[in-house]
């Protein structure tokens, strides 16, 4: 599946929120390669990676490890997280400023995946 098709399949009520994360990653890492490596839009820059997914009930930001989420989890205990991902439910505000540090941590850490 290509990225354009993936974006077209996102429900309209969620697309703006999804694009806000996509735009944030692009602004922080304009030279990152965007692919569908993990069957979702995935940014890599030669060191680390982040991926963004539209799930049934939320938008997820995936990183290459749980250590990237430590500070975010402390600041936002009401937002569900997994081992290396953050799941933004439709009711959750997306704290883009705090998400920057998660993205930078993940993109600037060498990790094979």
Using DSSP, state whether 18 is helix, strand or coil: helix
Q: What average pLDDT score do residues 17-26 get?
A: 96
Tokens of 33: 């390669």
8 A C-beta contact, residue 15 and residue 41:
no
pTM above 0.85, yes or no: yes
> Beta 42-44 vs 33-35: how paired, if at all?
antiparallel
Mean pLDDT of the chain: 92
Q: Set out the domains of the chain in order of their start, with CATH numbers.
A: 3-107 (3.90.1150.200)
Distances (CA, A) of 102 to 2, 72, 80, 85, 113: 26, 7, 15, 10, 18
* Partners of 88 in the β-ladder: 59
């Amino acid at each position: 599946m290509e990225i354009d098709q993936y974006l077209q399949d996102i429900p309209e009520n969620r697309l703006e929120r999804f694009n806000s994360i996509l735009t944030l990653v692009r602004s922080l890492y304009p030279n990152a390669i965007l692919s569908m490596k993990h069957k979702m839009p995935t940014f890599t820059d030669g060191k680390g990676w982040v991926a963004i997914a539209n799930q049934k009930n939320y938008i997820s930001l995936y990183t290459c490890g749980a250590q990237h989420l430590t500070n975010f989890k402390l600041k936002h205990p009401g937002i569900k997280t997994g081992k290396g991902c953050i799941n933004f439910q439709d009711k959750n505000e997306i704290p883009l400023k705090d998400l920057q540090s998660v993205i930078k941590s993940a993109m600037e850490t060498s990790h094979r995946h």
